[in-house]
Structure 1
Amino acid sequence: MKKIFALCLFLAAVSLHAQELPAYRIYNSKGKAVDFGKMVRQLEKYDVVLFGEYHNSSIVHWLQLKATEELYNRAGDRLLLGAEMFERDNQEAINRYLKGETDDKKLAEEARLWPNYKTDYKPLLDFAKSKKLPMVATNVPRRYASAVAKKGIDSLYLEASEKDWVVQLPFTVTLETPGYEEMRKMMGDHAGGKAMNFVAAQAIKDATMAESILKNLQPGRILLHYHGDFHSKEYGGIYWYLKQARPDLKIAVISVAESEEQKLPLPADFVKTDFNLVVPKDITKTY
């Protein structure tokens, strides 16, 4: 009877273990699995942390918040935050919210918040507010990127009052930037001769965000930046522009991939950066 009971316990344990489903895995630049704590300890050593995301991935947004909390626990007010999701001309509205001078309703009226702001970015902004940390609105106002996509970078004309909202012109747009050639080819069939306009629209976002980071980065501090994965994948985008301006900066890139496999291995063709998150492809999406 005891043997049967022991066997039942063993089988139950095996069954339970077989049902354990990891929500994420983290791999370093060599493809070795590391835990969350080790990643955060390493991130504290960098000047800039570029945290790529899939905009609708619930687990990636949760990891961003947890990484922010843990970095704050280690670095305190040395931590600065910045986000693609907030545009430069909305910085004053963001600042008023952080100071408690406005509420959620007023912020929604004054800033162009993304549709998934409440579920995905409000927790980050509220954390910044609770710890009195700055949140830098780094992105170019979308109307300028849209104009570049339609008519090209040379068509962009700025009034004097608008120049603070866009990277200093002219700036470099080159297919040597990782990811841009891929984008040009992807858009080519749909955009024809205007494919480079879409590349330039991507570039003006990346260059503006990089410039925003540089303007706000201070010696001895860490700027943690949230943005879509394409903006820094394969060390392109924001990373490329930062390194062009400041080769001395220590910059960590966190990239994202999805997997249909239960153990969440790194995809075979994945180009690794400093830290690489793999999440289930069927994870709950926020939209």
Structure 2
Amino acid sequence: MKNIFSILLLVIFYSVNAQNFKPYQFYNKKGKAIKAEKMVKQLADYDVVFFGELHNNSIVHWLQLKVTEGLYDKKDKQITLGAEMFERDNQPQLNKYLAGKIEAKSLKDSLRLWNNYNTDYKPLVDFAKDKNLNFIATNIPRKYASQTAKEGLESLNKLSEKEKSYIAQLPINVTLDTPGYPEMKKMMGDHAEGTKVMNFISAQATKDATMAESILNNLQPGKTFIHYNGNFHSKEFGGIYWYIKQKNPNLKMAVISVFESEDDELKIPEKEYIPTDFNLIIPADMTKTY
């Protein structure tokens, strides 16, 4: 009787553990599930790879690191890293850390690091440091984006030449033809003033255009540039992707977009799903880091 009871417990235990709890699933543009290893192999053929993220999702950050490691191997070390989370004027300090000239504490004291840097971005920076790779601070200093939102794009013309060097070449083309920008306009609401709306969109454009220019300035023949940015900055092939295409339409670029799903099997969401080259589906109930 005791043996039978033990067997029943084992059956119940394995039945519970056999449930399919999927932490993530990648799909290609055609909606076909694809293994991460196969995706990485395909990514090695691209000049630029955008890995969109939800800033507070641990699974996405872990996958960014694993995909980067895989791409490093597939490309025989020929990759460059870059990220929205680092601003252009912080490149000298970042370079010193990568070269081993300053310690992690000095980097933290000298850069405007995001609050989740230690858990979510330091592993990527340290990977670049350990492998002697370039890591590019691509974004506009936030004070200039904030200035644009308050005073308009034209206010940037008053900056010094040094300050302008941290921003994409002026004038920046701001248009609602850019995917994602009409959505921003809609989010502002019908009652928002026209100038205020366009200032807000222009601030987004300064970020996207600056990151695009930073990537273009640091491309090297034979190397893949992998860029980490908030999902909105590259979703629907808009944002940074769109600005690069205006400058160099011949570059081969891939976008990894991220979507949350309530489905345990992580099937493609039925609503608000506009696929890019590769599409990461993650559980909507995944614990948020902040």
TM-score range, shorter chain: over 0.9
Q: Does 1:17 align with 2:18?
A: yes
Secondary structure (helix, strand or coil) at the match of 1:51 reads strand
Task: Quote the Cα distance in structure 2 between the aligned partners of 1:38 and 1:148.
Answer: 42
Asked if the contact 1:49/1:223 (under 8 Å) is kept, the reply is yes
Task: Quote the Cα distance in structure 1 between the aligned partners of 2:222 and 2:37.
Answer: 21
Residue equivalent to 2:46? 46
1:192 CA displacement = 2.6
Task: Quote the Cα distance in structure 2 between the aligned partners of 1:170 and 1:285.
Answer: 38
Q: How does 1:157-236 map to 2 (within 5 A)?
A: 157-189=158-190, 191-193=192-194, 194-236=196-238
Residue equivalent to 2:245? 243
Gaps of 5+ in 2: none
1:48 CA displacement = 0.2
Cα distance per residue 1:80-139 (max 9 Å; x no partner): 000000000000000000011111111112111011101100000000000000000000
Q: How does 1:1-287 map to 2 (within 5 A)?
A: 13-18=14-19, 20-156=20-156, 157-189=158-190, 191-193=192-194, 194-269=196-271, 270-287=273-290
Task: Quote the Cα distance in structure 2 between the aligned partners of 1:206 and 1:88.
Answer: 13
Secondary structure (helix, strand or coil) at the match of 2:77 reads helix
Asked if the contact 1:119/1:286 (under 8 Å) is kept, the reply is no
Asked if the contact 1:257/1:277 (under 8 Å) is kept, the reply is yes
Cα distance per residue 1:215-268 (max 9 Å; x no partner): 000111100000000000000000101111111000000000111221111111
RMSD: 1.9
Secondary structure (helix, strand or coil) at the match of 1:106 reads helix
1:77 CA displacement = 3.0
Counterpart amino acid of 1:31? G
Counterpart amino acid of 2:168? V
Counterpart amino acid of 1:165? Y
Secondary structure (helix, strand or coil) at the match of 1:45 reads coil
Asked if the contact 1:57/1:283 (under 8 Å) is kept, the reply is yes
Distance 1:232 1:136, change over 3 A: same
Fraction of identical pairs, as percent: 59
Counterpart amino acid of 1:228? G
Task: Quote the Cα distance in structure 2 between the aligned partners of 1:119 and 1:9.
Answer: 37
Using structure 2 for the length normalisation, give the TM-score. Answer: 0.94
Gaps of 5+ in 1: none
Distance 1:262 1:178, change over 3 A: same
Counterpart amino acid of 2:243? Y
